[in-house]
C-alpha cells in the first residue's frame, strides 16, 4: 500500500507543482531542498514501485542553480519523462534490449519546452516496450504492488501518484495516459491530437500518438497547458453545467466498480451539473476496430526497419504488427481514415449544447500483474482525436477515474469544466 503518512510540511515531495512554485517564490525552501526531498522519496519507495529506469546524476546541481526570483513558470520543478521520449543528457532505452545504450543527440521538443520553462528532468520512467507492446514495464502500482500501474506510461503514472515527482510526461496512442492515471489516482490530460509535438518520441501510429500530461492537481494541468501554449477556448458559462453520460458502446465490459462509478455520477455532481444520457450512434461501435486497424497498419511501417535489421532480437509482438497478422489490409487502413473523419465531425456536432461528456477511464480497478490493461474505454476517444481529462473519483478501495471529453482544441475548456466538478467526484 502506498505510504500516505507524511504531510507536505514534513516532506516537500508531497507538494503539487503549483504549491512548490509558491513556496519557492516565497523563499520557504529552495529548489535544491525540493529536489532532495523527491530523490529521498524515490530512494525510499522505488525498490517496490520501480518507476525509474534512469535518474539524472546532475539533478541536484541543476536545482542548486535555481533562484527564488526565477520568473519561469516551472523553475526548479522536478519532472519525469517517459523513457521513449528523447533526452539529450540521459539515455532513451524504450524498455528495449535493442536500445539499452541509446544516447540521443538532443531533447525532444516536448522536453525542451519543459526545460525552457525551468523544469528539471529528474529521470526517465519505465514504459511498455516502445510504448506499444512486447515487454511490460517492471513498475508496480503504488497502492498495491501486486497490481499493474497500467501501460504504457507505467513509470510516470506511478511516480507522480507515489510523490516521487509532481509532474510527468507520458504518451497515448490507445489508452496509455488516461488508463494508468485511473489505475494510480492521477489527474491527467490526453490533449487534442497534434497540439504538442511528438517529434523525438518513438512513433507507433502517427494518427493517434499524443504526448500525455500527468499531475496530482488540476491547477498543475492548467499550468502545463500554459507551458505548452495550448489554444484558448470559449469560457465555461457561469450557469449550471450540462454533461453527457456516455457509457460507450462497450458498457457490458465494465467491471462492477466501473458500473458503480458511472451509476453514481449524476448524484455526485447534482449540485453543479445536470448529467444526462449521451448515447453514441450505433455505428460508433466500430470505433475500437477502426482504431486498431489504423494503429496496426501505421505500426507496420513504424517497426518495419527493426523487423528487417534486428528481426531475431525484436519481440514477436512487433513482427505481429509488421506482418499485419490481425488481417487488416493497408487499403482498409485508408478506408478507416475516411470513416473516422466523418465520425469526428458527427461527434462534435453531438457535443453542441453540452459542456462535456463523462465516460469510463478504464473497465475497473487495476488488474493484478504487470499488463498494460484494457484500452477499450480509451481508444475510441483517441481515434476521435479529442481532448480527454482523467479525474480520480473517491469512495473506492483502489483508485478509479472518470474521463471528461470535449471538442478538439477545447482542451482549456475541458480543464475548466474539470475544475468545476473535481471536488464533487
Catalytic residues: 82, 152, 176
Cβ contacts of residue 384 below 8 Å, gap of 6+? Answer: 287, 340, 343, 344, 347
User: C-alpha grid cell for residue 296?
Assistant: 496496426
Looking at the DSSP bridge assignments, the partners of residue 402 are 360, 391
Cβ contacts of residue 205 below 8 Å, gap of 6+? Answer: 173, 294, 295, 298, 299, 302
- List the alpha helices (DSSP H) in 165-279: 178-184, 218-227, 256-268
The backbone region for 306, taken as left when phi is positive above 0, alpha when psi lies in -120 to 50, beta otherwise, is: alpha
Q: What are φ and ψ of residue 122, in 5° steps?
A: -85, -20
Q: Strand ranges (DSSP E) for 58-107?
A: 78-82
- CA 333 to CA 295: how far, in whole Å? 9
The CA–CA distances, whole Å, from 406 to 58, 183, 362, 380 equal 40, 22, 18, 13
Q: By three-state DSSP, how is residue 55 classified?
A: strand
Q: What are φ and ψ of residue 47, in 5° steps?
A: -65, -25
What is the Cα 245 distance to its own chain's centre?
22
Q: What are φ and ψ of residue 349, in 5° steps?
A: -65, -40
The CA–CA distances, whole Å, from 66 to 130, 175, 228 equal 34, 36, 21
User: C-alpha grid cell for residue 74?
Assistant: 516551472
Name the one residue in this structure whose C-alpha cell is 533526452.
87
Q: What are φ and ψ of residue 98, in 5° steps?
A: -75, -20
Q: What are φ and ψ of residue 152, in 5° steps?
A: -90, -10
User: C-alpha grid cell for residue 40?
Assistant: 529521498
Neighbours of 197 (CB within 10 A): 14
- List the alpha helices (DSSP H) in 65-145: 109-116
- CA 279 to CA 277: how far, in whole Å? 6
Largest interatomic CA distance in the chain? 61
Amino acid at each position: 500500500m502506498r505510504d500516505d503518512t507524511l504531510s507536505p510540511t514534513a516532506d516537500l515531495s508531497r507538494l503539487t507543482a503549483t504549491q512548490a512554485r509558491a513556496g519557492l517564490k516565497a523563499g520557504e525552501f529552495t529548489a535544491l531542498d525540493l529536489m532532495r526531498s523527491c530523490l529521498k522519496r524515490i530512494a525510499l519507495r522505488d525498490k517496490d514501485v520501480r518507476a525509474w529506469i534512469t535518474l539524472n546524476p546532475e539533478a541536484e546541481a541543476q536545482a542548486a542553480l535555481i533562484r527564488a526570483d526565477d520568473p519561469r513558470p516551472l523553475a526548479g520543478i522536478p519532472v519525469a519523462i517517459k523513457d521513449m521520449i528523447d533526452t539529450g543528457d540521459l539515455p532513451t532505452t524504450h524498455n528495449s534490449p535493442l536500445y539499452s545504450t541509446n544516447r540521443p543527440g538532443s531533447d525532444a521538443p516536448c522536453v525542451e519546452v519543459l526545460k525552457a520553462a525551468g523544469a528539471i528532468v529528474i529521470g526517465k520512467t519505465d514504459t511498455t516496450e516502445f510504448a506499444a507492446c512486447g515487454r511490460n514495464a517492471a513498475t508496480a502500482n503504488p497502492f498495491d504492488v501486486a497490481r499493474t500501474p497500467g501501460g504504457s506510461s507505467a513509470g510516470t503514472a506511478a511516480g507522480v501518484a507515489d510523490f516521487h515527482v509532481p509532474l510527468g510526461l507520458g504518451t497515448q496512442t490507445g489508452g496509455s495516459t488516461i488508463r494508468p492515471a485511473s489505475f494510480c489516482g492521477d489527474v491527467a490530460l490526453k490533449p487534442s491530437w497534434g497540439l504538442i509535438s511528438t517529434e523525438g518520441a518513438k512513433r507507433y501510429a502517427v494518427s493517434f500518438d499524443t504526448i500525455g500530461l500527468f499531475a496530482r492537481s488540476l491547477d498543475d494541468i492548467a499550468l502545463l497547458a500554459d507551458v505548452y501554449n495550448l489554444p484558448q477556448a470559449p469560457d465555461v458559462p457561469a450557469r449550471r453545467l450540462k454533461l453527457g453520460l456516455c457509457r460507450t458502446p462497450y458498457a457490458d465490459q465494465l467491471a462492477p466498480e466501473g458500473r458503480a462509478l458511472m451509476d453514481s455520477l449524476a448524484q455526485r455532481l447534482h449540485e453543479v451539473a445536470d448529467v444526462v444520457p449521451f448515447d453514441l450512434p450505433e455505428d460508433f461501435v466500430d470505433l475500437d476496430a477502426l482504431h486498431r486497424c489504423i494503429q496496426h497498419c501505421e505500426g507496420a511501417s513504424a517497426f518495419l526497419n527493426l523487423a528487417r535489421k534486428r528481426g531475431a532480437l525484436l519481440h514477436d509482438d512487433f513482427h505481429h504488427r509488421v506482418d499485419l497478422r490481425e488481417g487488416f489490409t493497408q487499403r482498409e487502413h485508408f478506408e478507416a481514415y475516411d470513416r473516422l473523419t466523418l465520425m469526428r465531425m458527427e461527434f462534435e456536432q453531438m457535443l453542441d449544447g453540452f459542456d462535456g461528456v463523462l465516460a469510463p477511464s478504464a473497465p475497473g480497478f487495476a488488474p493484478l500483474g504487470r499488463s498494460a490493461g484494457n484500452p477499450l474505454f480509451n481508444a475510441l476517444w483517441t481515434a476521435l482525436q479529442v481532448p480527454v481529462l482523467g479525474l480520480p473519483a473517491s469512495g473506492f478501495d483502489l483508485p478509479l477515474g472518470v474521463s471528461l471529453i470535449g471538442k478538439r482544441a477545447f482542451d482549456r475548456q475541458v480543464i475548466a469544466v474539470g475544475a468545476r466538478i473535481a471536488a464533487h467526484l
